[in-house]
Each structure stands twice: as structure tokens, then as C-alpha cells.
Structure 1
Amino acid sequence: MATAEDGSTVVFVRAPLAVGGSPDGLLRRERNSATGQWGHWIDTGGQTSKNPAVGHRLDGGLEVFATRASGHVWFQAQEASGWGAWSDMGTPTGTTAAGTPVVVTDNNAAASTRASGQVQGNSDGRLELFVRGADNAIWHRAQKAPNDGGWSAWEKLGGGPWAGDPAAVVAGAGRIALVARTSDGHLNATSQKQPSTEQLALPTDNWAPWTDLGADFISNPQLVTNAYRTNTGQTSTHGNGTLLQAFANRSDHHPWTIAQSQSGTAATPDGTWDTSHPYDLGLALTSPPVVAVASDGRLSVFGFNADHTVVHRSQTHTLVPGTNATGIWDGGWPQQAGATATALTVTRTASGAFTLIVVDKAAATMSVIDQLAAGTPDSPAGTWLDWSDPAQIQTDYCAGAGSLDCLTIENADLNLDLDLDSAAHEFVTPDAANPHSATQEWALTPVPGATNGTFRIVNHSTLRCMAGQAQPVSVTSCTNPATPLGTWYLEPATTDNTGKPTRYRIHEAGGAYCLTALQNAEGGFNPQDILRLTCGDGDPNHKQAWNLGGNGTTAPGILNLALEHTAAACANDKTSNCTFQDSSTPAPYNAPACVFGNVLYNKSPDSPATLGAEWKHLTGSEWSVGGELSFEPFEFLGIDFSANHTWVDQDETAQTVDIQVPPGQFGWIEESPLVMETIGYWKFSVGGYTYTIPGHNLSNAQDNTGGQRTVIFTNTSPEPPTNAPCNQ
């Protein structure tokens, strides 16, 4: 999984056997950063016998790497026009690739500084790849220039023999660090003596001897950077460098962690590892540990237990050498019940919260859960929403729960699906569910140019649209100007505010009619007819609640589509009303710190410098409705929420802070914004119809709320920040 330059989340998954295709196929799926909606699975055209790996190029594009059954490593690059063709990287010299590739992006931040002291970002941006060969050696090669500028030859690292896959990160001063497990269970670490360059992609004798971190390890390791600080205060925090921290399961299946007590340098690349203080995180996992870094540098470990339920444990404080050798960890392992995991991955969103994605290989499904609020030292687990309905992993977007482009429309009371009559395929009729019938597959296609959640209903088999102003309801050509096309919107068919809606009314736009099935014949119509009747007329013979999806679940995007119409109505119709009803009193707290504005660097070898950092205070809100993150529909609702919750901070005034930066060091600002969470429900009254959906919101609060305020830190360090940029 990776985050693309436009903020979208991109997931790559090996095609499961359950989909009926090649077990070596590689599929891709993307989540739109603006709407939060997932697209369809796309066959990348590649094959892989191992899990894929993804790298970020300097130009913001992604590259995915895969080991094929032949032992060749292949890669595919994201280009401006889309994804390119697959390219063969060959095999390590005299052997083949046997493991999962590991990819890092070189970053020599100090070399990218403008005259003003502002760091432009990664001035290098070349990718470097590591993989275990069939000879159980670790091999690597590096790009000669960024953005797919060709690759060096393969080079073998010493040590071993190795088992499983290594882990790599870019550590201090742009040097790459590596951990790997030997075949007899020892965890070893090494680092570059100096960063490679475009001129010298693989410097000779550039890796330190391997350092033994301990024995009895059985899983693939994880390696992360961990910033530690001294002299901490609300106005100044002095960074003391970046330490490495490794994680792996031992034979008790518990994840253990070991950290450096002293950073590496060019003279001592491996630094000092505190092997006398390994820490047992205390729960048996059936998966290797997956480690994610919060925006303030605290670590969280994810995995799944024997029941394949996701569990996680988080730091309350990062490590302090000599005091807390591996950090302070919150007690217990909270569960995220509700999804079955046989593989998992975690990413951090622009807001600093985590998104967790799991795959159930046996069922060939993917499930997603988002954090609304990132964890803090006082509440390390954060606030998690609900699991999405499992999405079938295959390129058939009609499978499983379906999608807005292909779903079934089932009457919730009669348990019958919308179909077409068997004779002329002209009239819409209810029929028993038939998973092999294309006439029971429909698409909800947005009305061109509309922004109010209205759509047309298109039959997948005939590509004809459901007509409007007709009884009984029929289908017609979607381009026939002589026949009015039905234009519809969704409204939840529930007044319960305790859960996410699962049943919806399909309301004809501009009128009072809803799509209706009959339980018994009436007025010359029989139960084989679908009618347009007055919404909510209370007649027990009129069945107007529909399930939209497949296999008993709601298709992704259905709730968001309903909210689009509701938000537009509240914005444009004075008779409509959208309000948030609080059920708990918000308590302000400081969210995890993140890096604001410019990172600076003092190039002088002997003189301190005063450098000005520009930044803009963080404002805005994150919303959840019915257990899901909501995006575009809440642009208007956020205005209404802020008007009724006067503590919401709307001040985006740009600010400048001067930082005294020592020679040869970096300087930057971190902000720990004051936020509040509100729990309750949204009450929507549109067109005389009222419904409620549970909601949970996280908003940046004004300073001095409840005696608390936003906290600003200025930082200097010989190494660039490892904390996340705010909202980037």
C-alpha cells in the first residue's frame, strides 16, 4: 500500500485463488482522496509469487516491484498518463530472487537547501531495492538517476545465510539501514557508511559489518526511525538525532523490540544497539508485526492473533536512551474485531490518523477501517470507526457487495430483486435473486453536471435507463429525447440513530414519488409491477425500502451518495435542515504534534543562523457518519456545525517564527493542535422527511478553550525531522 502524490491510497494485492484467475496475478485498487471512495480492482497485467513492494519516486510517482515464479524481479512505473508496461530487472548474479522486494527512496535533505535555508525536499529521490536470493544472500541495486533513470548492477551484501525478507529505512544523513534474520534465527543490522549518489550508485565497501541483535527470532523484521529529544518544553525542543528500532517475533510468537542507544554516523555507521534491553510486547501473534509511526513519532504495532482478529499496541512515549530503552508502551492489546485478517498493512493519512487494510485470503476479501482521531500519549489507541463491508478481491466490480457501477436492488421487505420482464425486457419487475442474471444488475450513474447526489438507474444487461413519469416503471434508451428519464436520489429508510443505514428509499427527484413494490395486487396493478407511489404513504401494501449492494451487504458509496443530496438540499433549500445533536460534552486535548511549514538547514560550518519558518495554523474538521469517514458532502455541513459550535477554530492566519539554527543543523516547527471530539448524531430534515445517523467529529479548537491551548515547538537537530508533515 502507498499514498500517491495526489493523496489517493493505492493498494496492490495478489489475486487470490478464490477469484478463479491466476494465483500469481497482481491487482490494484485506488481510494480517491477527495471523496474517500474506492475504485474498481484493476488487473495490472503483472504476476508475482510474493507480496509486492512499492517505492515513491522524486517526481511523486509510484513504482511497484514484484518477484515472479521465475525468480526475476519486475517493476511497473506510474506515469502522467497512467501506469506503464512491466519491465524485467533480471535476477541477481548467478542466482534468482526468492524473497519479497524491499524498496527505499534515497533522501539527502541537507543537499537540497536554498540560499534562504529552506530545504526543498528530497534532492536525490533514487530508489534502492533489496531482495533475498535463492542462494540466501541479500542482494541490492540502486537507480542511477531519479524517476526511473536506469539501474546499477546487482551487488551482494555479506553475512548470512539469510531467511525471510529484510527491512530497510533511510536513517540519519540519508544513509540506508538494514535488518535481516539469519537462517538460525539471529537478527542482524547494518548501515551504509555514506549515502550513495547519482555519480556513485554503489560505493565500494560502503556497508558496516553486521551487528548481532539477538537470537531466537522467527519472523520477518520491521525497522523504523525513532526520534528522541532532550530539554523538552512547550517553547523549545532540541532534537538529538534519530535512533533505529527493530521489531520481530521470537519463538514464543511474541513481538520483541530492540533499539539503538546511540545514532549511527559516517565513522560508526551502526551506532550502538542496546541489546541488553530487548522488550517483550507480550502477546502471541500469528502474523509478523507491522509497525506504523504516528505524526509525533510514537510507534504502534499491529498484527493478528490466533483468531485472525487485528490487535495493536502503541507507545505513550518514544524511547529515551538510558531511561526507556524502547519507549513506554500502553498496557494491553486492543482488538479491532469485525474483520478476518490473513494479511494487513497500515498507512497514515494527511490528518495524521491511521488507515488499516486487511485481506482475508480464504474469502478473497479486503476490509478497511479508519481512525477518526489519531492516538495521543494519554489515549494511545486513538478513535477508530467501523470496518467497511468486505470487498471482493477481483476485477469483476459486480462481485461481492458490488459498486455504484454494478449492484443489485433488493426490496428489503419482499426479498426480491429488481429485474426486467422475461419477454421484451421492457418493464421493471421484482424477481427471486439470481446471481447469474445480468438483468438483475444495475448501475447508479450520476446525472451529468449534477452535484446534488442525483443519478439515473441503468440496467447492465440492456444498457437502458429506468424511465420517469410512467406506470408501471419501465426502461428506455438512455439517449431517447422523446422519453423522460427517471432522475433519482437516495434517502435512508430509517429513523434509528444507532447504526449505519442499510435500507434506502429511492426517491424521484423533483416530486413526491418513491420506487415501490407491491405485496398484493391493487388498482389494476399486480405484484409483478414496480410503481412510482407517494413516499412514506404508510400503506402496508407499498414496500419502499431497498437494499442496494450484493450478498446482503451495502455497496461502497451508497451512504455517501445519499449524503450528497442531503447536504446539497441543506445548502440550497431553506426548508431543509442539517444539524448535529451532541450526546457527550467535548473535552479539549492536544493532538499529536506534526511538522508545520518549512524545514530549514544552516549550511554554515561554524556560524549559527537565524532562519524564518513560515507556516499556517491548522483548522478544519474530520467527520464520520454511520461509522464511515465522510468527505465532500460535509463541506457545507461543516459550516453549519461551526456556526453551532463556536469553539471550532477557523483562523488560518499565516505566521512566521524565527529559529536559531546551529551550524550544520536543521530547524523546524511542530504544532500540537488543540482539538475536540464530539459524539452524537446528525439530524437531517429534507423535503418533510427526517432521518438521523450516528456521527463522530474531530475539530480543531480555538486556543484557550477550557484553559488549554495549541502548543508550538521549535526544533533543531543534526538530522532532519522524522515526524510527519501536517496535512501532507
Structure 2
Amino acid sequence: MPLDPTLASIHVALDADGRLEAFARGVDSTLQHIWQTSPNGDWSQWESLGGMIVTAPTVFRDGQARLEVFAPGIDSGVRHIRQTGTGGWSGWDDLGGKSLGGEVAVFQNAQGQLAAFVRGADNTLQYIWQTSPDGEWGGWKDLGGRLLSDPAVFQDADGRLQVFVRWADDALWHLGQSNANGGWGEWQSLGGVLAAGPAVFRDAEGCLEVFAHRSDDMLNPLWHIRQTSPDGGWGEWQSLGGDVLGVPAVLQDHWGRLVVLARGADSAVWEISKTDGAWGTWRSLGGQAAGDPVLGRSADGRLEAFYLGFDSAVWHTWQGADGGWRPGWVSRGGTIANF
């Protein structure tokens, strides 16, 4: 079976000093990055961090607030580069493993160690973790499964990591740690008939919420399923409507709203948000996106949105002081690879 299309292309994280930094795979297969020159300020020009990567990079901030970037290399092993204490970057490390070339999912566990997950070459979930916070990496572990998508991972309210995938039967399946100290439970199905991989975030009430497109609904709405209580069971699938495609971006903003952005069938970016437990309606933010949008949160809590355009440049917009989005999109340039 083919991989789900990996179209996000861009990943964004907040630097230790409050500057957003965006990462992407350039058309020359090197890691490219661009950053705010000051918190909430202007942006630099694109620069290369080298490497030879085959898909969009994933970035996560470690326990010392340094950014760490992960991506499969040309041999399908996972490559890794991190910020140093001087504000520069380390050389590339080879973490090994054998992925199918999709994106790496990364999160921090309850002990402060980063954990990375990939869809393995045999369609199982492969997992590696730091042996100590901000320390060295151990060996890869096979967590089983029959994956049809890259994994999505988030932390439950009690600190346990939860991984979500599109399974070989097209349903949403998840695997959770049996305790916050490390062990893993059994794979469980949450049903549905997914057309692509899921996205997950924890809402203001502490419940995980998963978003995905379903192939049994030809009208292109976005569906979601939510825990009924923090760390608890799961409710039923519900449609959020819309006419959108791909894998959505999900993040909570400064005002406590859970914000979802998705690429519309018209290639514009569309937004829907949840306030006080109630979902609003979809509205267009415009633009012409060739890839799925991504979200970052600025130093003052406002959300900033990015997408890869048909011109291979990165386009950008952001929330204002009142939580509304500025009209229109600004090009941040670049020559970014699409997938």
C-alpha cells in the first residue's frame, strides 16, 4: 500500500529565547530553516543546515529548551540535529532504524526524555527514546501494529504517551503507555474509515481529541473523536463539516481556543475553532496552499500559520492582539520541496 501523502512540508517550534523557527526540506534535500530575528518580530533569510533528508523534518524542544530536528535519511535511517548551548547547531547524528520514509513523530515523556516514532519498513511502529533527559539515545524497539500512515503522538493528562495511526483496516488505532514510567499496553481500535493519517491534540478540558478524514464520507468533511474524560474512554466519531483535505493542523491559542486549520478543496486555508467546549463554523483564511497548513505559537501566545505554496515558497499569516487573523498571507520565500 502507498504511503499517505506527506504534504505539510514545514514544521515550526518556539526557540528558547521566544523566537519562532521554521524548518523544511529544500529542493536539494537539505534541511532549510528560517527564524524570527526577535520574539514576535521580523524573519531572517533561509539558511541550510545540510544533511540529506527525504521528507519534511519534525522539530521538538527538549528539556533544556533547545530545538531538536528529526528526519529520515536517504537510507531510511533517522537523522537528527540539535541546537547547541552557544545558539549554533551540532553535526548530524544517525539514530539508525528503518522507516518507510515518512515523517518522524516526537514527544517528551513524563521523565523528560524525548521519544521518536516512525512507521517501520515492515509497517510496524518503531520507537526510540533518550536514556536520560537531554542525553544519549537507546536502541529501537518494535511496538507492532499494521500501519498505513505515519504515527501521531501526544501526552495524556496523566503523562502517558498515546500514539495514533491509520491501520491496515483503515480504522483509527491507538497504543498507549501502560504507565507514565515506560511500559506499553495493547493496540486498540477506535473505529472509523480513515482516508489519511490522524492529527491529535489535548483540549482545554484535558481530553485528547483526534482529527482525520474518513473515506466513507465523499463530501470532504473533517471528523473527530474525543476522550469522554481526561485519561478516560472515547466517545463517538462526529463530523465537523467543511470541504477540506489532507491532515489538519491543531493547536491551542492564547485565549484557550482549540484551533484547527485545514487545506480546502479550493486550495485555500480554512479554520474552525472550539471555545468553551463548543465548535464554531468554518471560515476561509484565503491563500493558495499546495500543502497542508501548519501552526506555531508565538512568544505572546498568538498562533502563526504557514503553508507551502504552488510557487515552492512558504507563506505566513498570524493572529492579532484580539485573536483574529490578519487579512492575507505574506511570502517568506524559500525553495521548498513538495511531496
Q: Which residue of 2 aligns with 1:158?
A: 191
Q: Which of residues 163, 180, 201 in structure 2 aligns to 1:169?
A: 201
What secondary structure is seen at the aligned counterpart in 1 of 2:198?
strand
Task: Please tell me whether residue 341 in structure 1 is matched to residue 336 in structure 2.
Answer: yes
Q: Percent of pairs identical after alignment?
A: 31
> What's the CA shift for 1:193?
0.9
2:325 corresponding residue in structure 1: 329
Contact map agreement 2:204 2:258 (CA 8 A) in 1? no
SS in 1 for 2:289: coil
Name the residue aligned to 2:142.
88
Which digits, 9 at most, give the CA deviation of each residue in 1:386-408, with x for residues without a partner?
Answer: xxxxxxxxxxxxxxxxxxxxxxx
Deviations 1:223-257 (A, max 9, x none): 122343xxxxxxxxxxxxx3322111111111100
Q: Deviations over 1:20-78 (max 9, x none)?
A: xx2x221111111x211111111111121111100111221100000012110010011
1:594-628 Cα shifts (integer Å, max 9, x gaps):
xxxxxxxxxxxxxxxxxxxxxxxxxxxxxxxxxxx
- Are 2:150 and 1:100 equivalent residues in the alignment? yes
Distance 1:328 1:258, change over 3 A: same
CA distance in 1, matches of 2:287, 2:194: 26
The residue correspondences of 1:599-614 to structure 2 (distance < 5 A) are: none
Is residue 2:277 matched to residue 1:245? no
- Which residue identity does 1:63 align to in structure 2? A
C-alpha distance in 2, partners of 1:106/1:216?
30
State the partner residue of 2:222.
187
Q: Distance in 1 between matches of 2:186 and 2:153?
A: 16
1:125 matches 2:175: no
Q: Which residue matches 1:10?
A: 68
CA shift at 1:287, angstroms? Answer: 1.2
Q: Which amino acid aligns with 1:224?
A: L
Matching residue within 220, 225, 236 for 2:247: 220
Q: C-alpha offsets along residues 135-156 of structure 1, whole Å, 9 cap, x if unaligned? A: 1111001111224x21111111
Q: Contact 1:179 / 1:246 at 8 angstroms: preserved in 2? A: no
Higher relative contact order (CA 8 A, sep 6+): 2
Q: Distance in 2 between matches of 1:341 and 1:243?
A: 31
Tell me, yes or no, if structure 1 residue 144 matches structure 2 residue 178: yes
What is the deviation of 1:220?
0.7
In the alignment, what sits opposite 1:303? 307
Matched length: 275
Rounded to whole Å, the distance in 2 between the matches of 1:315 and 1:9 is 24
In 2: Cα distance, 1:146 partner to 1:261 partner: 30
Q: Structure 1 residues 8 and 297, CA, compared in 2 at 3 Å: closer, same or farther?
A: closer
Q: Note if contact 1:300-1:315 (Cα within 8 Å) is conserved in structure 2.
A: yes
Deviation at 1:296, TM superposition (A): 3.0
2:35 is aligned to: none
SS in 2 for 1:64: strand
More helix by share: 1
- Aligned 8 A contact 2:151 2:164 in 1: yes
Does residue 207 (structure 1) correspond to residue 234 (structure 2)? The answer is yes
Shift of 1:262: 3.1
1:294 CA drift (Å): 2.1
Residue 165 of structure 1 contacts residue 220 of structure 1 at CA under 8 Å; is this kept in 2?
Answer: yes
Q: Which amino acid aligns with 2:299?
A: S
Paired with 1:15 and 1:191, the residues of 2 have a C-alpha distance of 35
Q: Does 1:287 align with 2:321?
A: no
Residue 273 of structure 1 corresponds to 279
Instruction: Return 5+ residue gaps in structure 1 as ranges.
Output: 17-21, 108-123, 197-202, 229-241, 264-271, 319-326, 344-360, 362-728
Conservation of the 8 A alpha-carbon contact between 1:222 and 1:289: yes
**TM-score, length-normalised on structure 1?**
0.37
Q: CA contact under 8 A between 1:221 and 1:247: conserved in structure 2?
A: yes
- 3-state secondary structure, aligned to 2:121: coil
- What is the deviation of 1:280? 0.8
Q: Which amino acid is the alignment partner of residue 288 of structure 1?
A: D
Partners of 1:312 and 1:78 lie apart in 2 by 33
1:67 has 2:119 as partner: yes
Amino acid at match of 2:198: P
Q: Is the 8 A contact 1:317 1:329 kept in 2?
A: no
The answer to whether the aligner puts 1:28 opposite 2:34 as a matched pair is no
Cα RMSD after superposing both structures? 1.7
Q: In 2 relative to 1, CA 330–187 (structure 1 residues): closer, same or farther, beyond 3 Å?
A: same
Please report the TM-score for the alignment, with normalisation by the length of structure 2. Answer: 0.77
